[in-house]
Structure 1
Amino acid sequence: MLPSGVLWSDLPVTSDAPLLAHGSPEPPDTAHDVALLDLDGVLYVGPDAVPGAAAALERARAAGMRLGFVTNNAARTPQEVADHLTQLGMPAERGDVITSSQAAATVVAERFGQGAAVLPVGGAGVATALREAGLRVVERAEDAPVAVVQGYGRDVGWTQLAEAVVAVRAGAVHVATNTDATIPSPRGVLPGNGALVGVVAAVTGQQPLVTGKPDPAMHAECVRRTGARSPLVVGDRLDTDVEGGRRVGVPTMLVLSGVTTPADLLAARPQARPDLVAADVSGLDHPHPPVRAVDGGWTCGAWTAMATDGGLELTQADGGTDDGTDGVTDDGLDGLRALCVAHWADHPDDAAPARVRAGAGSGAGGSLARWGLGEG
């Protein structure tokens, strides 16, 4: 925890923040006062709650943690998001939610002033945020918008994209609420806002101004609103949630309930490596073990990972179990934690895919198969 009177946002961003190796000796919901929670892939996937998410948030609140909901999904208004969360058993109020549409509207209003004409592309949340920021919403390029704000919307099609292209080519600034290429769904990953932003950028030849995560504006705004002194960013994406948290100097917890796979985590760029990793948001309510250096490798619980000429090798101590239990956590991820730190220590300044194998005579093969890693 930070000293009394010091806000996390007052501290300088540093590049040497602890990344996974330090763990968390006490549960994050007691070590941090506020969780800045992503939504898609963390609390729900499509219309349905992630199993156990509601109970996990209830335990976090009971431990004294406050919750802020931070989403790159620009389609819905904050009230609609709060209503959806409440219906899923995760009570939320409008003021608890900050969307990428709100961040984009703030940026445009600050740049062009109240009353400026803006063309929205996306769901209802985009136009609503623009109006609430005092901007004038227009529907056609011929209305001479100073900016095009493009966010996710399930019904975005050729007509809206074409209008955006005409407006940008006529001089409007192209603002993207976010560039997430995909969104999670019960059917698997689907095209996200970034895929459609790419269409406009490809035709106009201009790259957009991006205001959502990982831009620090969203997390910084949520820290300001909550008065957080020791916040924790929780998300399922490396390139938005984790990198966004690191850009404002806030620790991060990656959950594997959304789009990021263990292979993606191993290959993370240095600026997108989390401080903690958990199977899902229930990782808020238990300690996370450290990963310690040992001769030739790194150990976490009953697991040891070593970087060799042939890649990474994971072994298990005699008497260990294949579920990762070490007396501190029973989430089955200790071996993955050891692999990550071993690989990142071997690649401190660059991202690289990892080749992983089970050590001879080790029981690690089952865990590697469960994580979609290695040769078994």
Structure 2
Amino acid sequence: MASHELSSLDEIENSYEGFLFDAYGVLLDGSGLIPAAAQVWHDLRKRGKSCWILTNGSSRTPEQATEAYRAMGLDVTLDEVITSGSLLPRYFEEQGLRGQLTCVLGTSATHELVRKAGGIPCGALEHHDYAVVIIANQTEYPLLETLDAVLTHVCLRVEAGRPCYLILTNPDLIYPKSGQSYGFTAGSLALLLEAGLKLRLGQDAPIFAKLGKPFAPIFAEAERRAGHKKLLMIGDQLETDILGAKNYGIDALLVGTGLTRLGHGLEFNPEPRYILRHWRV
């Protein structure tokens, strides 16, 4: 079924009981809030619609992210912010990882998220015998030296017959920065490590458990908070926002304010239910 192009979200607002907004590329960009998108968010909430921010960003705690959005001018509560990093406590509990020494590739806030999950955070260059590796962000650590150290550590641990758990909170590969520039994100680093581990370890190579979009855990958390699946995912990336929503069984709208180019005549795979080229209020 071909995507239906909308002129505004008003055309389908009454078809859904809740709306999931991606952050970067949808509500904001490198310059701050996208004004028209923020107005749509505010208008939906005024009309009694449930809205959540569903983001793979895990460089901040949910509290820090909420405060940052509010400082930009977005009226949002803590319960309306679902970050992939906030899924760590549930994952650590389910996998029995509480109390485990955990190598963190991320920010100081990521270390705090690991502590809240019950892990003991450390850095890759501190020579600890960690059993868990989390890639959450691409900043606040020496990139190449850290990746080399993690690759070596995981290989040695697996070759010694000892398990090593790999977790990726942010599966995004790239993201739109301000203007016409782009940057690599945590998902690209995880792909690089998995490729290196497979070359050395073959079938014994561990792979990353992925918590953010397009994978199910973050959508399951959105369903848990909403209490239903009558939701519309609003995103700018085909391989995370749109694919994740479709795989989880909810509709998706692709907006043209972020990463995916919406030129005329383009075909999309996966195909969103709706397309909105520009925010209109």
**Structures share a fold, TM > 0.5?**
yes
Structure 2, unmatched stretches of 5+, are 159-163, 199-204
The equivalent of 2:244 in structure 1 is 244
Which amino acid is 2:251 matched to?
A: P
Rounded Cα–Cα distance in structure 2 between residues aligned with 1:106 and 1:265: 43
Q: Are 1:184 and 2:176 counterparts?
A: yes
Shift of 1:120: 1.0
Q: Deviations over 1:95-151 (max 9, x none)?
A: 221212223453243213322221111123422222212222233474322210101
Task: Tell whether the 8 Å contact from 2:4 to 2:275 is kept in structure 1 after alignment.
Answer: no
Where relative contact order (Cα < 8 A, 6+ residues apart) is larger, the structure is 2
Q: Which amino acid in structure 2 is aligned with residue 276 of structure 1?
A: Y
Over 3 Å counting, the alpha-carbon distance change for 1:37 and 1:281 in structure 2 is farther
CA distance 1:167–1:108, shift in 2 (3 Å): farther
Post-superposition CA distance 1:217-272 (Å, at most 9, x none): 10111121122452111110011001111111111111110000125993322xx2
The count of corresponding residues between Structure 1 and Structure 2 is 264
- Secondary structure in structure 2 of the residue aligned to 1:262: coil
> Alignment partner for residue 110 of structure 2, among 126, 145, 150?
126
Distance 1:263 1:180, change over 3 A: farther
Structure-2 change in CA distance of 1:50 and 1:250 (3 Å): same
CA contact under 8 A between 1:74 and 1:177: conserved in structure 2? yes
Residues 201-220 of structure 1 correspond to what in structure 2 (within 5 A)? 201-205=194-198, 206=205, 207-220=207-220
Could you say which residue in structure 2 is the equivalent of 1:196? 189
CA contact 1:77–1:125 (8 Å) conserved in 2:
yes
Instruction: Kindly indicate which of the two structures has a greater share of residues assigned to helix.
Output: 2
TM superposition shift of 1:281? 4.7
Check whether the contact 2:42–2:75 (CA below 8 A) recurs between aligned residues: no
Task: Please give the TM-score of this superposition, normalised by the length of structure 1.
Answer: 0.64
* Conserved? CA contact 1:104–1:212, under 8 Å: no
Q: Note the alpha carbon deviations across 1:308-354, whole angstroms, 9 max, x for none.
A: xxxxxxxxxxxxxxxxxxxxxxxxxxxxxxxxxxxxxxxxxxxxxxx
What is the percent sequence identity of the aligned residues? 23
**Alpha carbons of 1:267 and 1:147: their partners in 2 closer, same or farther (altered >3 Å)?**
farther
Letter in 2 for 1:202: A
Q: Which amino acid aligns with 2:117?
A: A
Note if contact 2:235-2:241 (Cα within 8 Å) is conserved in structure 1.
yes
Cα pair distance change 1:199/1:268, threshold 3 Å? same
Q: How does 1:304-315 map to 2 (within 5 A)?
A: none
1:20 correspondence with 2:3: yes
What amino acid sits opposite 1:181 in the alignment? Answer: L
Task: Give, in angstroms, the shift of residue 212 of structure 1.
Answer: 1.3
The answer for the alignment partner of 2:82 in structure 1 is 98
The within-5 A match list for 1:142-291 is 142-156=127-141, 157-169=143-155, 170-171=157-158, 172-187=164-179, 188-205=181-198, 206=205, 207-228=207-228, 230-262=230-262, 266-269=266-269, 272-282=270-280
Letter in 1 for 2:148: A
Q: Distance in 2 between matches of 1:265 and 1:248?
A: 27
What is the alpha-carbon distance in structure 2 between the residues aligned to residue 26 and residue 69 of structure 1?
19
Using a 3 Å threshold, how does the CA distance of structure 1 residues 183 and 145 change in structure 2: closer, same or farther? same
Counterpart CA distance in 2 for 1:279 and 1:241 is: 16
Deviation at 1:27, TM superposition (A): 3.1
- In the alignment, which of 54, 61, 65 is matched to residue 81 of structure 1? 65
Displacement after TM superposition at 1:54 (Å): 1.8
- CA distance in structure 2 between the partners assigned to 1:69 and 1:31 by the alignment: 19
What is aligned with 1:355?
Answer: none
1:363 maps to what in 2? none
Residues 262 and 277 in structure 2, CA contact (< 8 A), matched pair in contact too: no
Cα pair distance change 1:52/1:26, threshold 3 Å: closer
CA distance in 1, matches of 2:265, 2:153: 39
2:168 and 2:211 in contact (8 A); partners too: yes
Q: Is the 8 A contact 1:181 1:192 kept in 2?
A: yes
Q: CA deviation at 1:22?
A: 9.4
Pair 265,239 (structure 1): closer, same or farther in 2 beyond 3 Å: farther
The Cα shift of 1:74 comes to 1.5
Cα shift readout 1:175-214 (whole Å, capped 9, x = no counterpart): 2223322111114211122222233223322442322111
Q: Distance in 1 between matches of 2:118 and 2:112?
A: 10
Larger Rg: 1
What secondary structure does 1:131 align onto?
Answer: helix
